[in-house]
Amino acid sequence: MSLEHLLKLEAESIHIFREVAATCERPVILYSIGKDSAVLLHLAMKAFYPANPPFPLLHVDTTWKFREMIAFRDQRAKELGLDLIVHINQEGVRAGIGPIASGSRLHTDVMKTQGLKQALDLYKFDAAFGGARRDEEKSRAKERVFSLRSAEHRWDPKNQRPEPWRLYNTRKMPGESFRVFPLSNWTEADVWDYILQENIPVVPLYFAAPRPVVERDGALIMRDDERLPLKPGEEVRTRMVRFRTLGCYPLTGAVESTASTLPEIIAEMRASRSSERQGRMIDHDGSGSMEAKKQEGYF
Protein backbone atom coordinates (compact mmCIF):
# COMPACT_ATOMS: atom_id res chain seq x y z
CA MET A 1 0.00 0.00 0.00
CA SER A 2 1.25 3.45 -0.83
CA LEU A 3 1.63 6.07 1.83
CA GLU A 4 -0.56 9.07 1.25
CA HIS A 5 2.22 11.52 1.76
CA LEU A 6 4.53 9.72 -0.68
CA LEU A 7 1.78 9.93 -3.30
CA LYS A 8 1.58 13.67 -2.74
CA LEU A 9 5.33 14.10 -3.03
CA GLU A 10 5.41 11.94 -6.14
CA ALA A 11 2.66 14.00 -7.80
CA GLU A 12 4.47 17.24 -7.00
CA SER A 13 7.74 15.98 -8.47
CA ILE A 14 6.05 14.74 -11.65
CA HIS A 15 4.38 18.13 -12.01
CA ILE A 16 7.78 19.83 -11.80
CA PHE A 17 9.30 17.53 -14.45
CA ARG A 18 6.47 18.25 -16.85
CA GLU A 19 6.64 21.98 -16.23
CA VAL A 20 10.28 21.98 -17.31
CA ALA A 21 9.58 19.86 -20.36
CA ALA A 22 6.83 22.26 -21.39
CA THR A 23 8.69 25.53 -20.84
CA CYS A 24 12.45 24.99 -21.18
CA GLU A 25 14.35 24.33 -24.37
CA ARG A 26 17.26 22.07 -23.41
CA PRO A 27 16.77 20.36 -20.08
CA VAL A 28 19.11 17.75 -18.67
CA ILE A 29 19.05 15.48 -15.63
CA LEU A 30 22.16 15.90 -13.55
CA TYR A 31 22.67 12.30 -12.63
CA SER A 32 24.98 11.77 -9.69
CA ILE A 33 24.25 8.02 -9.36
CA GLY A 34 23.23 8.16 -5.69
CA LYS A 35 19.90 7.28 -4.15
CA ASP A 36 18.40 10.72 -4.79
CA SER A 37 19.36 10.50 -8.46
CA ALA A 38 17.82 7.03 -8.58
CA VAL A 39 14.52 8.44 -7.35
CA LEU A 40 14.82 11.43 -9.69
CA LEU A 41 15.25 9.14 -12.66
CA HIS A 42 12.38 6.93 -11.60
CA LEU A 43 10.07 9.94 -11.33
CA ALA A 44 11.19 11.25 -14.73
CA MET A 45 10.30 7.89 -16.29
CA LYS A 46 6.84 8.11 -14.73
CA ALA A 47 6.25 11.75 -15.67
CA PHE A 48 6.51 11.11 -19.40
CA TYR A 49 5.30 7.53 -19.68
CA PRO A 50 4.74 5.98 -22.20
CA ALA A 51 7.33 8.30 -23.76
CA ASN A 52 10.88 8.43 -22.43
CA PRO A 53 11.94 11.64 -20.68
CA PRO A 54 12.63 14.19 -23.42
CA PHE A 55 16.11 14.95 -22.15
CA PRO A 56 19.46 13.21 -21.55
CA LEU A 57 21.37 12.37 -18.38
CA LEU A 58 24.55 14.21 -17.51
CA HIS A 59 27.15 12.85 -15.16
CA VAL A 60 29.98 15.16 -14.17
CA ASP A 61 32.66 12.61 -13.45
CA THR A 62 35.38 13.74 -11.05
CA THR A 63 37.29 10.50 -11.89
CA TRP A 64 37.24 9.65 -8.17
CA LYS A 65 33.84 8.04 -7.89
CA PHE A 66 33.56 4.51 -6.56
CA ARG A 67 34.00 1.97 -9.36
CA GLU A 68 30.67 0.38 -8.47
CA MET A 69 28.99 3.73 -9.07
CA ILE A 70 30.35 4.00 -12.59
CA ALA A 71 29.31 0.45 -13.46
CA PHE A 72 25.84 1.08 -12.05
CA ARG A 73 25.53 4.35 -13.99
CA ASP A 74 26.30 2.76 -17.35
CA GLN A 75 24.01 -0.16 -16.70
CA ARG A 76 21.03 2.00 -15.66
CA ALA A 77 21.28 4.31 -18.66
CA LYS A 78 21.38 1.28 -20.94
CA GLU A 79 18.44 -0.48 -19.26
CA LEU A 80 16.25 2.62 -19.46
CA GLY A 81 17.32 3.51 -22.99
CA LEU A 82 18.43 7.02 -22.02
CA ASP A 83 21.20 9.15 -23.47
CA LEU A 84 24.06 9.47 -21.01
CA ILE A 85 26.57 12.28 -21.30
CA VAL A 86 29.70 11.90 -19.19
CA HIS A 87 31.72 15.06 -18.73
CA ILE A 88 35.17 15.24 -17.16
CA ASN A 89 36.97 18.54 -16.58
CA GLN A 90 40.04 17.72 -18.66
CA GLU A 91 41.81 20.91 -17.58
CA GLY A 92 41.53 19.68 -14.02
CA VAL A 93 42.83 16.26 -14.98
CA ARG A 94 45.80 17.82 -16.80
CA ALA A 95 46.52 20.00 -13.76
CA GLY A 96 46.59 16.88 -11.62
CA ILE A 97 43.68 17.98 -9.43
CA GLY A 98 42.44 15.29 -7.07
CA PRO A 99 41.02 14.98 -3.57
CA ILE A 100 44.28 13.69 -2.13
CA ALA A 101 46.77 15.88 -3.96
CA SER A 102 44.70 19.07 -3.91
CA GLY A 103 42.44 18.74 -0.88
CA SER A 104 38.69 18.40 -0.84
CA ARG A 105 37.88 22.04 -1.40
CA LEU A 106 39.92 22.59 -4.56
CA HIS A 107 39.04 19.17 -5.94
CA THR A 108 35.32 19.77 -5.49
CA ASP A 109 35.52 23.23 -6.99
CA VAL A 110 37.51 22.25 -10.07
CA MET A 111 36.23 18.75 -10.85
CA LYS A 112 32.65 19.17 -9.73
CA THR A 113 31.59 22.83 -9.81
CA GLN A 114 33.75 23.96 -12.73
CA GLY A 115 33.16 20.67 -14.54
CA LEU A 116 29.42 21.13 -14.24
CA LYS A 117 29.59 24.68 -15.56
CA GLN A 118 31.71 23.54 -18.51
CA ALA A 119 29.22 20.84 -19.41
CA LEU A 120 26.19 23.12 -19.11
CA ASP A 121 27.87 25.72 -21.30
CA LEU A 122 29.16 23.16 -23.80
CA TYR A 123 25.75 21.60 -24.42
CA LYS A 124 23.82 24.84 -23.80
CA PHE A 125 21.49 23.23 -21.28
CA ASP A 126 19.05 25.78 -19.91
CA ALA A 127 17.55 23.66 -17.14
CA ALA A 128 19.37 21.04 -15.09
CA PHE A 129 17.46 18.77 -12.74
CA GLY A 130 19.19 17.91 -9.51
CA GLY A 131 18.27 15.57 -6.70
CA ALA A 132 19.00 18.04 -3.88
CA ARG A 133 16.51 18.15 -1.03
CA ARG A 134 15.77 21.03 1.30
CA ASP A 135 16.15 18.85 4.37
CA GLU A 136 19.82 18.16 3.58
CA GLU A 137 21.30 21.42 4.72
CA LYS A 138 20.16 24.78 6.04
CA SER A 139 20.99 26.90 3.00
CA ARG A 140 19.27 24.32 0.80
CA ALA A 141 16.16 24.82 2.93
CA LYS A 142 15.85 28.28 1.42
CA GLU A 143 16.37 27.21 -2.17
CA ARG A 144 13.59 27.47 -4.71
CA VAL A 145 12.36 24.55 -6.79
CA PHE A 146 13.34 26.57 -9.86
CA SER A 147 16.63 28.16 -8.86
CA LEU A 148 17.72 30.82 -11.31
CA ARG A 149 21.43 31.02 -12.14
CA SER A 150 23.14 33.87 -13.93
CA ALA A 151 25.06 33.36 -17.16
CA GLU A 152 28.06 32.87 -14.85
CA HIS A 153 26.04 30.19 -12.98
CA ARG A 154 25.90 32.19 -9.78
CA TRP A 155 23.10 31.84 -7.25
CA ASP A 156 21.83 34.98 -5.55
CA PRO A 157 20.12 33.88 -2.33
CA LYS A 158 18.79 37.36 -1.62
CA ASN A 159 17.11 37.74 -4.97
CA GLN A 160 15.11 34.55 -5.38
CA ARG A 161 11.76 34.51 -7.11
CA PRO A 162 8.80 33.74 -4.89
CA GLU A 163 7.13 30.44 -5.81
CA PRO A 164 3.52 30.60 -4.69
CA TRP A 165 1.19 27.64 -5.23
CA ARG A 166 2.41 25.42 -8.08
CA LEU A 167 3.23 28.44 -10.21
CA TYR A 168 6.82 28.39 -11.36
CA ASN A 169 8.13 31.37 -13.29
CA THR A 170 10.36 29.70 -15.87
CA ARG A 171 11.29 32.83 -17.84
CA LYS A 172 14.91 33.72 -18.14
CA MET A 173 17.33 35.88 -20.10
CA PRO A 174 19.62 34.41 -22.74
CA GLY A 175 22.51 32.67 -20.98
CA GLU A 176 20.65 32.29 -17.71
CA SER A 177 19.64 28.82 -16.62
CA PHE A 178 17.73 26.98 -13.96
CA ARG A 179 18.68 24.35 -11.49
CA VAL A 180 15.46 22.48 -10.87
CA PHE A 181 14.90 20.38 -7.76
CA PRO A 182 11.89 18.07 -8.03
CA LEU A 183 12.79 16.41 -4.70
CA SER A 184 12.83 19.71 -2.79
CA ASN A 185 10.17 18.59 -0.33
CA TRP A 186 11.41 15.02 0.16
CA THR A 187 13.34 13.87 3.22
CA GLU A 188 15.97 11.17 3.43
CA ALA A 189 13.34 8.90 4.99
CA ASP A 190 10.90 9.63 2.15
CA VAL A 191 13.56 8.72 -0.41
CA TRP A 192 14.26 5.35 1.18
CA ASP A 193 10.59 4.57 1.77
CA TYR A 194 9.92 5.34 -1.88
CA ILE A 195 12.85 3.23 -3.08
CA LEU A 196 11.40 0.35 -1.09
CA GLN A 197 7.83 0.95 -2.23
CA GLU A 198 8.80 1.25 -5.90
CA ASN A 199 11.61 -1.30 -5.83
CA ILE A 200 14.06 1.17 -7.40
CA PRO A 201 17.59 -0.16 -8.06
CA VAL A 202 20.35 1.60 -6.12
CA VAL A 203 24.13 1.25 -6.05
CA PRO A 204 25.12 -1.78 -3.92
CA LEU A 205 27.42 0.44 -1.81
CA TYR A 206 24.35 1.49 0.19
CA PHE A 207 24.08 -2.05 1.52
CA ALA A 208 26.41 -3.40 4.16
CA ALA A 209 29.18 -5.72 2.95
CA PRO A 210 32.77 -6.51 3.94
CA ARG A 211 34.86 -3.72 2.38
CA PRO A 212 38.51 -2.63 2.67
CA VAL A 213 38.61 0.54 4.76
CA VAL A 214 41.14 2.69 6.57
CA GLU A 215 40.35 4.83 9.56
CA ARG A 216 41.34 8.41 8.85
CA ASP A 217 40.45 11.55 10.85
CA GLY A 218 37.67 9.63 12.54
CA ALA A 219 36.10 8.52 9.26
CA LEU A 220 36.13 5.12 7.57
CA ILE A 221 37.48 5.59 4.06
CA MET A 222 37.16 2.75 1.58
CA ARG A 223 40.26 2.04 -0.44
CA ASP A 224 38.52 1.66 -3.77
CA ASP A 225 41.77 1.59 -5.78
CA GLU A 226 45.52 2.01 -5.48
CA ARG A 227 45.34 5.80 -5.74
CA LEU A 228 44.63 6.13 -2.02
CA PRO A 229 48.06 6.26 -0.38
CA LEU A 230 48.31 4.94 3.13
CA LYS A 231 49.73 7.22 5.78
CA PRO A 232 52.21 5.84 8.31
CA GLY A 233 50.42 3.62 10.80
CA GLU A 234 47.33 3.28 8.62
CA GLU A 235 46.18 -0.17 7.82
CA VAL A 236 43.53 -1.44 5.44
CA ARG A 237 41.06 -3.66 7.24
CA THR A 238 38.03 -5.46 5.98
CA ARG A 239 35.04 -4.25 7.89
CA MET A 240 31.30 -4.62 7.52
CA VAL A 241 30.32 -1.16 6.30
CA ARG A 242 27.87 0.70 4.11
CA PHE A 243 27.46 4.27 2.84
CA ARG A 244 24.66 6.70 3.63
CA THR A 245 25.65 9.07 0.83
CA LEU A 246 27.94 8.54 -2.14
CA GLY A 247 30.50 10.93 -3.57
CA CYS A 248 34.21 10.82 -4.34
CA TYR A 249 35.48 7.79 -2.49
CA PRO A 250 38.36 9.45 -0.59
CA LEU A 251 35.89 12.07 0.68
CA THR A 252 33.06 9.79 1.68
CA GLY A 253 32.98 8.14 5.06
CA ALA A 254 31.41 4.72 5.54
CA VAL A 255 29.41 3.66 8.57
CA GLU A 256 29.75 0.31 10.30
CA SER A 257 26.55 -1.56 9.68
CA THR A 258 25.07 -4.94 9.06
CA ALA A 259 22.04 -3.56 7.18
CA SER A 260 22.05 -5.46 3.91
CA THR A 261 18.43 -5.09 2.82
CA LEU A 262 16.22 -2.05 2.23
CA PRO A 263 14.06 -2.63 5.31
CA GLU A 264 17.20 -2.95 7.41
CA ILE A 265 18.61 0.27 5.97
CA ILE A 266 15.36 2.08 6.69
CA ALA A 267 15.25 0.76 10.25
CA GLU A 268 18.85 1.84 10.78
CA MET A 269 18.23 5.30 9.36
CA ARG A 270 15.21 5.91 11.56
CA ALA A 271 17.13 4.93 14.65
CA SER A 272 20.16 7.00 13.63
CA ARG A 273 20.99 10.14 15.51
CA SER A 274 23.25 11.76 12.94
CA SER A 275 22.42 13.41 9.65
CA GLU A 276 23.39 11.90 6.32
CA ARG A 277 25.75 14.71 5.42
CA GLN A 278 27.92 13.94 8.39
CA GLY A 279 29.94 11.57 6.21
CA ARG A 280 30.61 14.31 3.66
CA MET A 281 33.99 15.89 4.22
CA ILE A 282 33.25 18.85 1.96
CA ASP A 283 30.51 20.14 4.23
CA HIS A 284 32.68 20.57 7.26
CA ASP A 285 34.06 24.01 6.48
CA GLY A 286 31.66 25.94 8.72
CA SER A 287 27.92 26.37 8.48
CA GLY A 288 27.96 28.97 5.70
CA SER A 289 30.15 26.87 3.43
CA MET A 290 27.35 25.22 1.42
CA GLU A 291 25.81 28.62 0.79
CA ALA A 292 29.17 29.93 -0.44
CA LYS A 293 29.66 26.89 -2.71
CA LYS A 294 26.19 27.28 -4.12
CA GLN A 295 26.75 30.94 -4.89
CA GLU A 296 29.80 29.88 -6.89
CA GLY A 297 27.72 27.48 -8.92
CA TYR A 298 27.84 24.27 -6.95
CA PHE A 299 24.64 22.34 -7.30
Please report, as ranges, the residues that interact with another protein according to CB under 8 A. Answer: 3-5, 7-12, 14-15, 18-19, 21-22, 46-52, 134-135, 137-142, 157-158, 160-167, 169, 171-173, 184-185, 187, 189-190, 193, 266-267, 270-275, 278, 287-288, 291
Q: Given the DSSP bridges, would you call strands 57-60 and 84-87 parallel, antiparallel or unpaired? A: parallel
Phi-psi region of 108 (alpha: psi -120 to 50; beta: other; left: phi over 0): alpha
For another protein, give the closer residue by CB, 4 or 226: 4
Where b means 16+ CB within 10 Å and e means fewer, 139-178 reads: bbeebbbbbbbeeebebeeeeeeeeeeeebebebeeeebb
Distant-in-sequence, close-in-space partners of 290: CB < 8 Å, separation ≥ 6? 137, 138, 139, 140, 283, 298
At 66 the three-state DSSP class reads coil
Structural element, H or E, at residue 113? none
User: Smallest distance from the beta carbon of 92 to another protein, in angstroms?
Assistant: 28
For another protein, give the closer residue by CB, 7 or 151: 7
For another protein, give the closer residue by CB, 63 or 275: 275
For another protein, give the closer residue by CB, 118 or 160: 160
User: Smallest distance from the beta carbon of 267 to another protein, in angstroms?
Assistant: 5
User: Smallest distance from the beta carbon of 173 to another protein, in angstroms?
Assistant: 7
User: Smallest distance from the beta carbon of 39 to another protein, in angstroms?
Assistant: 13
User: Smallest distance from the beta carbon of 94 to another protein, in angstroms?
Assistant: 35
User: Smallest distance from the beta carbon of 6 to another protein, in angstroms?
Assistant: 9
User: Smallest distance from the beta carbon of 69 to another protein, in angstroms?
Assistant: 24
**Residue 100, exposed/middle/buried by CB under 10 A (0-12, 13-18, 19+)?**
middle
**Residue 116, exposed/middle/buried by CB under 10 A (0-12, 13-18, 19+)?**
buried
What DSSP string describes 188-248? HHHHHHHHHHHT----GGGS-EEEEEEEETTEEEE--STTSPPPTT---EEEEEE-SS-SB
For another protein, give the closer residue by CB, 11 or 101: 11
For another protein, give the closer residue by CB, 109 or 190: 190
For another protein, give the closer residue by CB, 17 or 66: 17
